[in-house]
Amino acid sequence: MATACARHILVKQEALANKLKEQIAKGADFGQIAKKNSICPSAKKGGDLGEFKRGQMVKAFDDVVFKKEVLKVHGPVKTKFGFHLIQTIYRS
């Protein structure tokens, strides 16, 4: 079974997600942005979700982590929780 390690930033507004993605693209630290803005409990760890298996996250999130380019920041991805910026650290 495939596993991956990812970190994310979860916010309620798509516009904020886009703004944060722009800041990261300009060199802002993903972990610091997550700590300041993410509403997920993972925020205190810089958005780090640790390692998880395929199917443990909601489908839209899973699709990004297991199909898109590693180390690139993807999103905003809409789920029932809000809008995510997702960065896959590695997957196997």
pLDDT score for 1: 87
Angle between helix axes 30-37 and 14-25 (nearest 10 degrees) is 150
Average model confidence (pLDDT) across the chain:
98
- Report the C-alpha gap between 87 and 25 in whole angstroms: 12
pLDDT in tens, 35-70: 999 999 999 999 999 999 999 999 999 999 999 999
Tokens coding 74: 């993807």
Asked if residue 80 lies in contact with residue 12, where contact means CB atoms within 8 angstroms, the answer is no
Residue ranges of domains in the chain: 3-91
- Residue 77, beta-bridge partner list: 84
3-91: CATH class:
alpha beta
Rg (alpha carbons) of the chain, rounded to whole number: 12
pTM of the model: 0.96
